[in-house]
Structure 1
Amino acid sequence: MTTLTPVLSRNWDRPDSFTLAAYRDNGGYEALRKALTMEPDSIVDLVKASGLRGRGGAGFPTGMKWGFLPKDNPKPRYLVVNADESEPGTCKDMPLLLANPHALVEGIAIASYAINSHHAFVYVRGEVLHVIRRLRHAVAEAYEAGLLGKDILGSGFDLDVIVHAGAGAYICGEETALLDSLEGYRGQPRLKPPFPAVAGLYASPTVVNNVESIASVPGIVANGADWFTSMGTEKSAGFGFFSLSGHVERPGQYEAPLGVTLRELLDMAGGVRDGHRLKFWTPGGSSTPIFTEEHLDTPLDFEAVGAAGSMLGTRALQIFDETTSVVRVVRGWIEFYAHESCGKCTPCREGNFWMVQVLRRIEAGKGTQEDIDTLLDICDNLLGRSFCALGDGATSSVTSAIKYFREEFIAGTHTPAWELFPYQRTTRWANESVEEDA
C-alpha cells in the first residue's frame, strides 16, 4: 500500500479551503441535500453498513451508537461533537477544523437529522482560539446559506448548532466529563450506567461522537457504504488521519486506509530523520502501549494493533529514534496525566502522582530495583479501577516501556538519563544536531 486516500484532506492545499464556497466547489452539502430526502432510520442503517467506527480512540461502531437512542423517550435528543483534542501526540481534529470545518458542519446536519436531534453542540478545547473562530465562522456561513437553522433546504427540518469553548481540561475529552462541563459543572467523569444514549446532556438521550467520525459521514451518504468499505480492512473499514510527529523527516497528517503500516507511512514521510534509526513509537497517542521496530509491519487497524498488544487510539504516531531516553519520555507523559487527573478517583489521583516521583528518581540515576517493581504495582492497582480511561491510559506507557526497555530502567539505578542520552537541540532546517549541556 503506497497510496493515500485524500477525502477529508483533498482540499487542504487551497488557500480558502475553509470557506463555504471552496467546500461547495468540491460537492459540499450535496450529501446533506440527499440525506434530507431519505428516511432518518435508513441513514442510520447506511452508517452501520459502512462499518464506520469511532475515530476518537475507542473505535465503537458509529451507526450502532446512533441506534442505541431509546425510541420511547419523550425528551429532546442531542448530538455532541467531541473536539476537546488534547492528548500528547494527538493532532488530527484541529487541522481538520482549520482547513475543512464545513465537512464537520455538514456531518453534524446529517447526523442530527438521522437521530432526530434539533440541537447540536461542538465542544472545542478552549486554548485553540483560532480553531474556535474558524469553526464559528463556518457555522455562521451555513446559517446564512440556509444549511442550518429553520427549514433547512426547504425540508422542514430545523437544527441549531452551538460551538462551545471548553475550559482547557484534558479530562473533558472523556464523554461524560464533557457533558458535565457543557452543563456548567466541573468536568468530572460520571459513573456509568446510565450511558449518554439514555441519560446524557441534560439527562436526555445524547450521541457523543468525535470530529473525524462525524466529518466522515457526508462521504458515506454521498458515495455509499460500498465506497467506504472498499478502503481499509474487513473489520476496520474506511480511511483515517495518521498523525506522524517526532523524529521523522516530514511530519504531518497522512490520510490513508486503515490497515496501512508504519513502514509504509514512513516511506511516504521520508523515513526517520537522517542518520538515525527507529527506537520506539506510539500507535495511538501517549495513552496507548508503545511499539518498537519489530512492529513496523503491523497493520494499523483496530484488530491487528490490539492483537499486537496496543491500541489504535487516535492514530497519533509519535516517532522516537535511538537518541531518546524511554524513561525521560514516559516521565513527561505521566507528569501530564498527574496534572490532568480530575482527582475524583483515588487510584488515578494518587497513582499518577507517585509514579511521577518514582520516574523522576529513576531518570536522575537515583532509583532502585524496587522502584521498578513499585511502578508495576501502582499500574496494577490503577488499571481498571477508575471512572474513566485516563487511569488505564496512564499505565500503558509505563508497563510497555518496562516490557521493552527494562534495561534503561535498571540503568536508572546508577546513571542519570541525561548522561545515557544527552540532550540535543535539533535544527531541522540545517539538518544538523547541536549538543547542549545537561
Structure 2
Amino acid sequence: MTDTLTPVLTANWGDERAWKIGNYERRGGYEGLRTALRMEPSEVVSLVKDSGLRGRGGAGFPTGMKWSFIPQDNPKPKYLVVNADESEPGTCKDIPLMMASPHTLVEGVIISAYAIRASTAFIYVRGEVLHVVRRLQQAVREAYSAGYVGKNVLGTGYDLDIIVHAGAGAYICGEETALLDSLEGRRGQPRLRPPFPAVAGLYASPTVINNVESIASVPSIVRNGAAWFSSMGTEKSKGMTIYSLSGHVTHPGQFEAPLGITLRELLGLAGGIREGHELKFWTPGGSSTPILMPEHLDVPLDYEGVAAQKSMLGTKALQCFDETTSVVRVVLRWTEFYKHESCGKCTPCREGTWWLVQILHRLEAGQGQEGDIDKLLDLCENILGRSFCALGDGATSPISSAIKYFRDEFEQGMHTPAWELFPYERSTVFVREPAGAQA
C-alpha cells in the first residue's frame, strides 16, 4: 500500500474557489479529457478496465467491465447516468465532492460518455441539496462555454449534452432502476430485471449508471495511467477512495486513502474516539451494512476484507459509536428511515419494515414481549433475499448483526427502557453551551 493518505479527488478541496473552471484547469483539469479524445472510445474502456477501478457506490462492480456491456451494435442512443442521489444515513462523500470540485465530476462525465459513445449524459442529484444542484449547473455552464461540452467538443466532432436533474426526495431513487423511472417522469420504483440497464435502461436504450466517485476517478486514471491507479490499494481492490468518518470521532470528516487502510489507522488520523470514551461498534459502509466491533479495527477496508467479516464496504461511511450509545435505539432510528423510504412495491419490505419498527419501539421503551427478539430475527430472515430490491436487505442487516453482538441489550428491553440504560444526552455529539455563554 502507498502512503496513508492519497489526495487525488480531494487534492484541490482546500483551494480558493476550487469549484471555478479556471482554478480547476490550473491544476491540470481537463487534460485527461484532451488525452481521452485522442484515443478511440474502446481504448478508454480498456484503460479503465485495466486500472481495476470498481464502482464506488456500494456494489464494487468493475467499472470498465460495466461499460463494455453496452451493445454498440444497438441502433438506439446510448446514455450515461450519474447516480448522485446520495441519501443513506451516514453516507456523505459524494455531496462534498460535488460541492468542492464539481468539474472533477463533469470532466469524468465527458470522458465516460465518450468511452461508451453516448451523446447525452444525466447527473441525477438529490433534490434537497439545492446548493449542490446550483453548483453543478454552474460548472456544466462553464464547461459548455469552454467548449468541453456541446457540439463538436474541442473540435473533435464529438457531441455531448449534460443535463443536471434534481430528484424529488426519495431514497429509493438511489436504486438504479428506480432512478431511471424517476428520470423518465414516473414514480421511482425498482424495475424487474432482466432486461438490465445496459441493454434497456433509460428510454429502453442502452444505459450505464455509475456513482459520482466512480466517474470522478476517471480523469485521474486517464491522466496518470492504469498502472499508477492500480499501484494503490490491494490486489483485488485497486486505487484510492474517500472514507467518511462520523459519529463519536474527535475530528470527523472525509479521508482519501488507498483501499485496504484500516479503521485503526483512520481513527489515528481523526484523533481517535472522543476524549474519555471508547469505541463500542461501527458501520463499515453506512447504515445498511452489518455492524462491526472494536475487534475488527484492523480489518482491511477493502471489498474482500470487509466481506470476510460478513459485512460490506458499501459507501465507506464509517459511523463510529462509543459506549454511551444504545444499540437498540440506533437500529430503531435506522429502521424507521427504511420503513419511511420503502416504495411499497413489494410485500416483504413494505410490511416487514413496519413490523420491525413496532417491535423495536417496544424494546426501546422497555416493553418487549416474550419472543420479540426471535421474531425480529425471523422477520429479517423473511425479508432478506425476498424483497424486490436491496432496500429490504439493507434494513435487516444492522438488526441481525446488532442482535448477534448485543443480544443482552435487546433482552434488557424486556423490562428497562433504553433511555434509562443509556441516557441519550450522554451520547449527543453536540454539546449545548450554558444559557448566557459567549459564542
The question of a shared fold, defined as TM-score above 0.5 by the shorter chain, is answered with: yes
Tell whether 2:229 aligns with 1:222: no
Distance 2:362 2:49 in 1: 50
Using the TM superposition, give the Cα deviation of residue 386 of structure 1 relative to its aligned residue in structure 2, in angstroms.
1.3
Secondary structure at 1:424 match in 2: helix
TM-score by length of 2: 0.97
Paired position in structure 2 for 1:285:
286
Q: How does 1:172-321 map to 2 (within 5 A)?
A: 172-321=173-322
State whether residues 425 and 433 of structure 1, in contact with CA within 8 Å, keep that contact through their aligned partners in structure 2. no
Question: Match for 1:326: what amino acid?
Answer: V
Q: How does 1:385-424 map to 2 (within 5 A)?
A: 385-424=386-425
Q: How does 1:18-417 map to 2 (within 5 A)?
A: 18-417=19-418
Cα distance change of structure 1 residues 112 and 95 upon mapping to structure 2, 3 Å threshold: same
Using the TM superposition, give the Cα deviation of residue 426 of structure 1 relative to its aligned residue in structure 2, in angstroms.
6.9
Cα deviations by residue, 1:296-339 (Å, 9 ceiling, x for unpaired): 00000000100111000000000100000000000000000000
Cα distance change of structure 1 residues 283 and 427 upon mapping to structure 2, 3 Å threshold: closer
Distance 1:387 1:109 in 2: 33
Gaps of 5+ in 1: none
Cα distance change of structure 1 residues 142 and 183 upon mapping to structure 2, 3 Å threshold: same
State whether residues 283 and 316 of structure 1, in contact with CA within 8 Å, keep that contact through their aligned partners in structure 2. yes
Question: Match for 1:5: what amino acid?
Answer: T
Secondary structure at 2:267 match in 1: helix
State whether residues 248 and 429 of structure 2, in contact with CA within 8 Å, keep that contact through their aligned partners in structure 1. no
Distance 1:431 1:298 in 2: 35
Using the TM superposition, give the Cα deviation of residue 419 of structure 1 relative to its aligned residue in structure 2, in angstroms.
0.4
State whether residues 426 and 432 of structure 1, in contact with CA within 8 Å, keep that contact through their aligned partners in structure 2. no
Distance 1:74 1:186 in 2: 28
State whether residues 251 and 269 of structure 1, in contact with CA within 8 Å, keep that contact through their aligned partners in structure 2. yes
Sequence identity percentage: 73
Distance 1:198 1:430 in 2: 52
Gaps of 5+ in 2: none
Distance 2:386 2:340 in 1: 19
Distance 1:278 1:326 in 2: 12
Secondary structure at 1:289 match in 2: coil
State whether residues 324 and 426 of structure 2, in contact with CA within 8 Å, keep that contact through their aligned partners in structure 1. no
Distance 1:363 1:427 in 2: 17
Distance 2:160 2:197 in 1: 20
TM-score by length of 1: 0.97
Distance 2:38 2:200 in 1: 30
Paired position in structure 2 for 1:17:
18
Matched pairs, number: 434
Paired position in structure 2 for 1:8:
9
State whether residues 171 and 341 of structure 1, in contact with CA within 8 Å, keep that contact through their aligned partners in structure 2. yes
Distance 1:165 1:189 in 2: 18
Cα deviations by residue, 1:245-298 (Å, 9 ceiling, x for unpaired): 000000000000000000000000000000000000000000000001010000
Secondary structure at 2:235 match in 1: coil
Secondary structure at 2:164 match in 1: strand
Using the TM superposition, give the Cα deviation of residue 70 of structure 1 relative to its aligned residue in structure 2, in angstroms.
1.2
Cα deviations by residue, 1:183-237 (Å, 9 ceiling, x for unpaired): 0000000011110000000000000000000000000000000000111001000
Distance 2:429 2:174 in 1: 32
Distance 1:322 1:433 in 2: 25
Question: Match for 1:322: what amino acid?
Answer: E
Using the TM superposition, give the Cα deviation of residue 71 of structure 1 relative to its aligned residue in structure 2, in angstroms.
2.6
